[in-house]
Structure 1
Amino acid sequence: MAARALVLASAAVSTAASAAPFVYLTNWYAQAEHGGFYQAQAQGLYKQAGLEVAIRMGGPQINIMQQMLAGKADCIMGYDVETMKVWEQGIEAVTVAAVFQKDPAVLVAHPDVKRMEDLKSRTLLIGAASRVSFWPWLKARYGFTDEQTRPYAYNIQPFLADKNIAQQGYLASEPYSIEKATGKAPKVFVLADHGWPPYATTVVCSRKTLQQRPKEVAAFVKASMLGWKSYLQGDPTPAHTLIKKDNPNMTDDLLAYGIGKLKSEGVVLGGDAATQGIGTLTDARMKATFDLLVRHKLIDPAKVDVRKTYTTEFVKNLKVLP
């Protein structure tokens, strides 16, 4: 009996050791906006769920959607606009959870600007990717024009040099850098607070992963949302230690600023997450985003069935409440 037990135990260990790791690829270098995933890793929540998770960083030269299609990631950190649009090319990417209940995309202006409408008289720095996402919506909503724009090169120096310039940014990035450089907080307009509907920092998986590893996806989503709860409502130090290990350029000041904005703006714990749980996504929100893309001719409804671009299966009964 002892020998048989030893054989069985050895087989179990061998099976666990040979199980493929579950790879989650982020959209950028490690930062506070990724904190819940790192917290789940640091606190052993993935291991408790029976997973061997590898969190890998994205970056400016990494096309994370292509990486997933090539089988180098099971799921990626996605964004509704892109996830819906890739279906036009026959890429079956599916959103299974939405960490950010509001997109942290912002317009940053000098402190003298009081309202979004005031930006009609300013030069706006807008990036190429933004021109096929929120820019058409902004133009229609506020009367902005292409003629008032210049390309945004992910550098705040033009903004610092010209008080007539406003620019796109990310809630916990450009505003922080500008405040550090000038000693004054800029005026920040969070697009989501003005009606921009997409979720952000989502968990997006390939159709293949959902077919072949549904239990692992469910376990990953649950452990990740528990990680986000711990990160934002507990001690974030474990996550920050791993973030700085992956991204040595990350500073304690920026991490503190980032987590502070996630909390104060209700990015993760606000909206539907407050009552339905962290990571929740709804049919109504996904339809609102899709309808907006159709309205601004950013997506072809003849090629994309919005109902195939996401599933609520993994979050509808999760209820990881703040």
Structure 2
Amino acid sequence: MTRIALLASAAIFATLAPAAAQDLTPVTFGTNWLPQGEHGGYYQAIADGDYEACGLDVTIVPGGPQVNNRAMLLAGRIQFHMGGNLLQAFSAAEQDIPLKVVAAHFQKEPQILMSHPDEGFDTFESLKDATLFIGDPGFQSYYQWMIDQYGFEASQRQPYTFNPAPFIANKKSAQQGYVTSEPFAVEREGGFKPNIFLLADYGFDSYATTVETMADTVENSPEVVQCFVDASAKGWYKYMYGDNSAANALIQAANPDMTDEQLAFSHDSMMEFGILESGTAEADGIGAMTDEKFTSFHDKMVAAGVVPDGVDISDIYTLEFVNKGVGLDIKKELTGQ
């Protein structure tokens, strides 16, 4: 992240977010992509003052193609980072990097495959007969799990270049994507609603959109970590069930290419597929984590040859800050349920 980008991000929130009191602790949260609906809860917590209410002055630094906020975290330049799935955390454990996952706001990674309807590819198993457009990171991670668990073949895969045109043109193909994004693009550009197969529902059970920090932050500033985790959960409940227009305005100010239609599609998809609220999060609150799910996903990745065996992953996460039901009262108030 360049100094110019940091200053630009800070300027956005200086003008749009409430002025922070002098006694607030300044922290920076680096996301892993450009501002979008999938980040909505964090922007909602800024818009509603939830971070300030528990003592933090939070600046969000967007990620993007030329930005490596994870490196900024490891270098001590930012305090929190938005992880993708758990594979990078497992890599940190392998390299003895003192990183901690302190919350998982997505219980399901939004990763999907999608196919043309009524072309014989209406079940996950049937995709073993399709051409699959999958990028290199996906081929090296979840596709290896698909080979191991379901018998897919490496020869089916064609490189995905983040252009849906080849998939739209080939009715006997399937394409990777995020449930919150690519189906929207296909509907607009291809004129049809694709079949959607959320990999999490077939056993790729990684947490996603995690909150990462360094071990010394957990040890020396647990109140800061707890505030960030709790306020983020509150922000997510408000974004999903309340008036999210202020959060969306912040997102669009930071990313003018984000349309109202895309934001609405992302919101509705997260709701429909239980991205934030499924499993233990339904009772324990958004951000919930369990030892069992970390172990389950790790064992699957070892079996698929994605991560090496014999690495102790217990030190790269902590349950200290989650599973407390924070925000469930907000949901009840907003929904009446």
The answer to whether the aligner puts 1:40 opposite 2:45 as a matched pair is: yes
What corresponds to 2:116 in structure 1?
A: 110
Q: Unaligned stretches of 5+ in structure 1?
A: 1-15
Residue of structure 1 aligned with 2:94, choices 88, 91, 106: 88
List structure 1 runs of 4+ shifted beyond 4 angstroms.
Answer: none
Are 2:93 and 2:315, in contact at CA under 8 Å, matched by a contact in 1?
no
Match of 2:3 in 1: none
Give the secondary structure class of the aligned counterpart of 1:21.
strand
**Corresponding position of 2:127:** 119
C-alpha deviation, 1:19, in angstroms: 6.2
- Of 36, 56, 59, 1:54 maps to 59
Q: Are 1:240 and 2:244 counterparts?
A: no
Tell me the distance in 2 between the aligned counterparts of 1:217 and 1:21: 12
Other-structure match for 1:11: none
- The structure 2 residue matched to 1:101, chosen from 107, 113, 124, is 107
- Residue 334 (structure 2) aligns with: none
In the aligned structure 2, how far is the partner of 1:298 from the partner of 1:283?
Answer: 20
Contact kept in structure 2, 1:98 and 1:199, CA below 8 Å:
yes
Query: Equivalent of 1:66, from 65, 71, 75?
Result: 71
Identity of aligned residues (%): 41
Residues 316/275 of structure 1: CA separation in 2 closer, same or farther (3 Å cut) = closer
For 1:13-28, what aligned pairs fall within 5 Å after superposition?
Answer: 17=22, 21-28=26-33
> SS of 1:308's equivalent?
helix
Residue aligned with 1:288, SS = helix
Matched, 1:230 2:235: no
How big is the shift at 1:171? 0.7
* 2:25–2:56 contact (8 Å) kept in structure 1: no
Contact 2:86-2:206 within 8 A present in 1 as well: yes
**Corresponding residue number in structure 1 for 2:216:** 208
* Distance across 2 between alignment mates of 1:275 and 1:263: 16
Residue 276 of structure 2 is matched in structure 1 by 268
Distance in 1 (alpha carbons) for counterparts of 2:76 and 2:132: 39
* TM-score in terms of structure 1 length: 0.91
Q: Is the 8 A contact 1:51 1:216 kept in 2?
A: yes
The alignment of Structure 1 onto Structure 2 pairs a total of residues equal to 306
The residue correspondences of 1:185-224 to structure 2 (distance < 5 A) are 185-224=193-232
Do the aligned residues in 1 keep the contact of 2:116 with 2:174 (CA within 8 Å)? yes
Question: Bigger CA drift: 111-120 or 273-282?
Answer: 111-120
Task: State the partner residue of 2:4.
Answer: none
The corresponding residue for 1:317 is 324
3-state SS in 1 of match to 2:56: coil
Match of 2:18 in 1: none
CA deviation after TM superposition for structure 1 residue 188, in Å:
0.8
Give the conservation status (yes or no) of the 8 Å contact 1:81–1:289.
Answer: no
CA distance in 2, matches of 1:147, 1:23: 43
Residues of 1 paired with 2:188 and 2:223: CA distance?
A: 45
Deviations 1:83-133 (A, max 9, x none): 112222232221111111111100011112211111122111111111232
Write the distance in 2 (CA, Å) between the matches of 1:84 and 1:128. Answer: 19
Superposed CA deviations along residues 244-297 of structure 1, whole A, max 9, x for unmatched, are: 011100000000000001111111122211111111001111110111112122
Using the alignment, how far apart are the partners of 2:327 and 2:69 within structure 1? 27
Conserved 8 A contact 1:58-1:64: yes
CA contact (8 A) 2:287 2:323 kept: no
1:255 to 263, 267, 274: 263
- Paired letter, 2:137: A
Aligned to 1:13: none
- What secondary structure sits across from 1:52 in the alignment? strand
Q: Which of residues 303, 307, 312 is equivalent to 1:299?
A: 307
CA distance in 2, matches of 1:44, 1:248: 23
Name the structure 1 match of 2:10.
none
State the distance in 2 between where 1:81 and 1:88 align. Answer: 11
Q: Check conservation: 1:32, 1:258, Cα contact below 8 A.
A: yes
Task: Give the distance between the partners of 1:46 and 1:319, measured in 2 at CA.
Answer: 14
* TM-score normalised to structure 2 length: 0.87
Q: Which shows bigger deviation, 137-146 or 198-207?
A: 137-146
